[in-house]
Chain A
Amino acid sequence: MSAARERTRSGPRWYRHSLVLTLAIIVVLFAAGETLSPGFAAPGQVIYLLVTASLLGFVAAGQNLVILGGREGIDLSVGGMISLGALIAGNVMDASNAAILPALLATLAGTFALGAVNGLGVTFLRIPPLVMTLGMYGVIQGLLIVITRGVPSGRAAPMLSAFVNEPLVLGIPGILFAWAAFAAFVIWMLRSTAFGLRIYAIGANENAAALSGVAIRRTRVLLFALSGMCAGLTGFLVLGFSGNVFIGVGDQYMLPSIIAVVIGGTSLAGGIGGHHGTVAGAIVLVLLQSILTTLNIDPSGRAMIFGGTLLLLMFFYGRQQRLRV
């Protein structure tokens, strides 16, 4: 048992291994991109890609939590949540730097509450997550149309746009520092807090978790609420990224948020996976898309290559199952 304690102290082996593996994949993808289209891995381009990945990364973080919690957890409402978040943020701040903080708070609170509704539906009304969150997506979409009457509204404050798009230190924009800090926090939360271990517990064996005294329902409601909030945060940043909002702005993130989680090594059955994988998954996914965009092929061919590569990646990760704790 003393060897065991040793290992825990220095951090488990799988963690370092799968990280190395994923970093290798990312480097290979950059190299492939550079070969196919010179300039792909130029610093400015790299940063642009990482900013794109970070937008996906925030929403995928919440998606990951819901999936880890098991019981077929999935959040299909994130697309709507992002659009709604962007709309709330844009209207509250309305191009004013002074209103950035209130806008952020309003966005987070609103999407947290709607996410909690997802969670309540899933736990107390026993609606399957797939159905509940898809329904929520529909409701939000309708709401957006009613509120905006189809006309884009709300504008980003200059400081928010700068935070997302302009270099802050060393040519790196603020959003990437924020993403790094956020990712570090989520990794820590999952590994080293009671809440994190509760998530794994309910995902791995809900019955045993209940008998261990874990508040199953409360935890699961919170997971959906957090997923909503992460999507809202993404919406807030998307507003900064593109300056204004159109209704369907969040839709393009829905499927990628799930794919990033899954290629990041999280099991759709729940209970297995970590956040570092999701971060890597977001980067890999964005890289892949962008490589395919630089290739000069028609969209159907692109879609096929994209799908095929994903399957290949899944296979590759599947073989590393033992590492994917």
Chain B
Amino acid sequence: MTVLEAADVHKRFGGVVALAGANLELAAGEVHVLIGANGCGKSTLCKIITGSVFADRGTIRLDGRAMRFRTPSEAARAGVGVFYQELSLIPQLTVAENLFLRRPPRSRAGLVDRRRLRREASRALERFAGAIGDIGPDHLVADLSADQRQVVEILKVLVDEPRVILFDEPTAALDNRQVEVFFDLVDALRREGRSIIFISHRMDEVFRIGDRVTVFRNGESVATMHIADTDKDEVVEKMLGTRIEAVERRRDAPKAADVAMRAEAIGGTHFDDVSFDLRRGEILGLGGLHGQGQSSLLRALFGADNAFSGSVAVGGEVYRPRGPRDAIRAGVAYVSGDRGRDGVFPVRPVFENFVAALLTRRRRARLDRRALSAEVGAVGDRLKLRAASLDALISELSGGNQQKVVIGRWLVNEPRILLLDDPTKGIDLNTKSDLYRILDELCMEGVSVVFYSSEERELLANADRIAVFNGGRVVDLLEGERVSELNLYRAAFAAEGH
């Protein structure tokens, strides 16, 4: 019997097509897995079902009746609970307060009954007893670690006792033992007759817990299969579809073999035991699913967050930046795809956005505006920047042009090593191709690039080699003939040894 059904759901965000005909049938008492590459629309479908995003077209039916929830709490009242990929806990509140945020137990006077709140929270936490340290109902969420927060988030969904539960990558931050507890919990929920949608990128988890699997590709649901009747290879094949034609390579691997940056067994938050040689004039791609440690590695290499363990050498010398300034001095640059947070100075003119990375290098205090304007103008021309003037506020430019300015900031600085952290996120195709062209030119000039992208095809087209990340480790290094979409997916979705 079908409990929940999504039929022909479409959704666009501006120019981005997130869903283009998604279908899903959730049977009573089953665990139904959704799987697919980054950005194929799984999260968007969850949000549409639970009323935090509205579909452009399509129907959602609950128990055969068409439904259109306007908010997640409306969905919750109808018995549909959801664990969103983006965590939603309020750090300033306690674990108990967060668990019962939507519906705190009330006393007869209508006030929050704190005794019952604590008691029920303790009971909820019991479910993960032993796997989450000694956190209790009164701990502030701000003090919890990432995995503990994720557990609280899971429990928060369950306190409403929903009949239908959507879990969007609930295990991403959990350790082995917590995953086991979670799966026991899911088994129990299934025995109680509840229906569960489960999104995960870990192939072993899919086969461990799922009854059926629906594969998504580019916003479409392409196949639904019984887990018992399929295997990992078939699932990967369906994910890729017939696209296994080779992506056209844009460049030949560089001839030069000297090493610009050598990392030996470095580790940090979210990555571990990473080693690589970055050759002069090459683009080393970082592949794999979202959030497998690629960004953390790049930020650590730039001295932006916490330090790393292990050793790194740049140009043969020990490299251990204590902050971005050390990195800049060593000729390392970093461009983040999150330009709102890490890149632009929104209320300042284009000119100032361009020269921001020069403010420490110039020994002399005075900035020669005229000379700098000429320099900046030349870089702008090279990037094909479209701006009314250098005095225009950067927030008046299009997103792609803003990102060009952020990239230009580093070109003005003439780096030897360029770290790119998903730099084309949310920008238009023209800007992307301008960026690829610039990367080629830079490599010709001997600059070395480490390029993380959440778009596989972008990596395949540009990178000379690809280090595939999975669970914070490099699980495969694709070189030469082995640089292919199939190998990239195989490594990215491989069972992870955690």
A residues apposed to B, CB below 8 Å: 1-5, 7-9, 12-14, 192-195, 197-198, 200-201, 204-205, 207-215, 267, 271-272, 325
**Complex interface: chain A residues within 8 A of B304 (CB):** 210-211
B365 touches A208 (CB 8 A): no
Residues from chain A with Cβ under 8 Å of B325 in the complex: 213, 215
C-alpha gap A195/B342 in the complex (Å): 20
Q: Taking the complex as formed, is B77 at the interface, i.e. its CB lies under 8 A from any CB of chain A? A: no
Q: Which residue of A lies closest to B396 (CB)?
A: A322
Shortest CB-to-CB span from B384 to chain A, Å, is 10
Q: Which 9 A-B pairs have the closest CB atoms?
A: A204-B345, A4-B389, A212-B356, A4-B390, A213-B328, A213-B325, A212-B357, A12-B391, A213-B360
| A contact residues around B327 at 8 Å (CB) | 213
Q: A194-B367, A204-B347 are in contact. List 13 more A-B contacts (CB 8 A).
A: A4-B380, A4-B388, A194-B362, A197-B359, A207-B342, A213-B324, A213-B359, A214-B360, A215-B360, A272-B347, A325-B347, A325-B391, A325-B393
| Residues in A neighbouring B348, C-beta threshold 8 A | 200-201, 204, 271, 325
User: Judging by beta carbons under 8 Å apart, are A208 and B367 in contact?
Assistant: no
On chain A, the residues within 8 Å of B336 by CB distance are 211
Report 22 cross-chain contacts, Cβ distance below 8 Å, ordered by A residue: A4-B387, A4-B388, A4-B390, A5-B377, A5-B390, A7-B389, A8-B351, A8-B370, A9-B370, A12-B349, A192-B369, A197-B352, A197-B359, A198-B359, A200-B352, A204-B346, A205-B344, A205-B345, A208-B345, A211-B334, A212-B359, A213-B325
The number of chain B residues touching the other chain, given as a range, is 35 or more
Q: By the criterion CB–CB under 8 Å, are A194 and B359 in contact?
A: yes
Kindly list chain A residues whose C-beta atoms are within 8 Å of the C-beta of B373: 4-5, 8-9
Q: By the criterion CB–CB under 8 Å, are B347 and A267 in contact?
A: yes
| CA distance in complex: A5, B354 (Å) | 14
Partner of B365, one of A2, A193, A271: A193
Cβ-defined contact, B377 with A4, below 8 A: yes
Given the complex of chains A and B, what is the CA–CA distance between A209 and B357 in angstroms?
A: 8
Complex Cα spacing A1 to B373, Å: 10
From residue 321 to 367 of chain B, which have CB atoms closer than 8 A to chain A? 323-325, 327-328, 334, 336, 341-349, 351-352, 355-362, 365-367
CB-CB under 8 A for A208 and B390, given A198-B359, A201-B348: no
Q: A126 to chain B: closest CB distance in Å?
A: 15
Q: Find out whether the CB atom of A205 lies under 8 angstroms from the CB atom of B346.
A: yes
Residues of A within 8 A of B361 (CB): 213
Q: Does B374 contact A (CB under 8 A)?
A: yes
* Main DSSP-derived SS at the B contact region: mixed
Bound form: Cα–Cα A197–B362 in Å: 12
Known: A193-B367, A204-B345, A208-B342. A214 touches B359 (CB 8 A): yes
Please pick, from B323, B341, B374, the residue contacting A207 in the complex, using a CB distance under 8 A.
B341
Which of A3, A5, A271 is the most central at the interface, judged by chain B CB atoms within 10 Å of its CB? Answer: A5
Instruction: For the complex, give the distance between the alpha carbons of A195 and B366 in Å.
Output: 9
The answer to whether B366 touches A200, judged by C-beta atoms less than 8 angstroms apart, is no
Asked if B385 is an interface residue, CB under 8 A from chain A, the answer is: yes
Whether the pair B381, A8 counts as a contact (CB closer than 8 A) is no
- B302 CB–A CB distance under 8 Å: yes
Q: What is the distance, in angstroms, from A189's C-beta to the closest C-beta of chain B?
A: 9
Query: Complex: how many Å from CA A8 to CA B349?
Result: 11
Residues of A within 8 A of B389 (CB): 3-4, 7-8
Q: Max chain A CB contacts within 10 Å: which of B355, B377, B391?
A: B391
Q: Which of A1, A13, A193, A215 contacts B377 (CB 8 A)?
A: A1
Contacts of B391 in A (CB 8 A): 4, 7-8, 12-14, 325
Residues of A within 8 A of B356 (CB): 197, 201, 208-209, 212, 214
Q: Which residues of B contact A14 (CB under 8 A)?
A: 391
B201, chain A: closest CB distance, angstroms? 29
**CB-based nearest B residue for A194:** B359
* Chain A nearest CB, measured from B127 CB (Å): 37
Residue among A2, A4, A14, A267 having the largest count of chain B Cβ atoms under 10 Å: A4
* Contacting pair B328 A271 (CB below 8 A): no
Is B32 on the interface with A (CB-CB < 8 A)?
A: no
Asked if B409 is at the interface (CB within 8 A of a chain A CB), the reply is yes
| Interface contact B369-A8, CB-CB below 8 Å | yes
Please, which residues of chain A bring their CB within 8 A of the CB of B324? 210-213
Query: Which residues of A sit under 8 angstroms from B387, Cβ to Cβ?
Result: 1, 4
- Chain A nearest CB from B301 CB (Å) reads 13
Tell me, rounded to whole Å, the shortest Cβ–Cβ distance linking B49 to chain A. 34
A200 to B353, CA, bound (A): 10
User: Are the CB atoms of B349 and A325 closer together than 8 Å?
Assistant: yes
Which A residues are in CB contact (< 8 Å) with B351?
A: 8
- Chain A residues near B344: list those with CB within 8 A: 205, 208
Min C-beta distance of B29 to chain A, whole Å = 47
A1-B381 in contact (CB<8A):
yes
Contact A7:B390 (CB < 8 A) given known A201-B356, A212-B359: yes
Question: Closest approach, in angstroms, between the C-beta of A78 and any C-beta of chain B?
Answer: 25
Q: How far is the CA of A9 from the CA of B390 in the complex (A)?
A: 11
Nearest residue, chain A, Cβ from B377: A1
B385: chain A residues within 8 A (beta carbon): 1
**In the bound complex, do residue B381 and residue A209 qualify as a contact, i.e. CB atoms below 8 Å apart?**
no
* Complex Cα spacing A4 to B381, Å: 12
| A217 smallest CB distance to B (angstroms) | 10
Known: A201-B359, A207-B342, A211-B342. A192 touches B377 (CB 8 A): no
Quote the shortest CB–CB distance from B366 to chain A (angstroms): 6
Q: Report Cα–Cα, A237/B31, bound state, in Å.
A: 78
**Given A8-B391, A12-B391, A213-B359, A201 contacting B374 (CB threshold 8 A):** no
- Kindly list chain B residues whose C-beta atoms are within 8 Å of the C-beta of A325: 347-349, 391, 393
A181–chain B nearest beta-carbon distance, Å: 17
User: What CA separation (Å) do A187 and B172 show in the bound complex?
Assistant: 52
Which residue of chain A has its CB nearest to the CB of B329? Answer: A213
Q: How far is the CA of A209 from the CA of B359 in the complex (A)?
A: 10
| Bound-state Cα–Cα, A235 to B201, Å | 66
Q: Which residues of B contact A215 (CB under 8 A)?
A: 325, 360
For the complex, give the distance between the alpha carbons of A112 and B336 in Å: 37
Instruction: Kindly list chain B residues whose C-beta atoms are within 8 Å of the C-beta of A195.
Output: 365
How far apart are the CA atoms of A209 and B334 in the complex, in Å? Answer: 12
Q: What's the minimum C-beta distance from B385 to chain A, rounded to whole angstroms?
A: 7
* Min distance, Cβ B412 to any Cβ of chain A, angstroms: 11
Bound-state Cα–Cα, A193 to B366, Å = 4
Contacts of B362 in A (CB 8 A): 194
- Which residue of chain B has its CB nearest to the CB of A6? B389
Residues of A within 8 A of B355 (CB): 197
Residues of A with C-beta under 8 A to B393: 325
Write the chain B residue with the least CB distance to A273.
B347
Contact B377 A209 (CB under 8 A): no
How far, in angstroms, from A12 to B357 measured CA to CA in the complex?
22
Residues of B within 8 A of A2 (CB): 377
B11-51 residues at the A interface, CB under 8 angstroms: none
A268 to chain B, nearest CB (A): 13
**Which residues of the partner chain A approach B390 to less than 8 Å between Cβ atoms?**
1, 4-5, 7-8
List of B residues within 8 angstroms of A271 by Cβ: 345, 347-348
Q: How far is the CA of A301 from the CA of B178 in the complex (A)?
A: 68
Task: Knowing A7-B391, A213-B360, A271-B348 are in contact, say whether A197-B370 is a contact too (CB < 8 A).
Answer: no
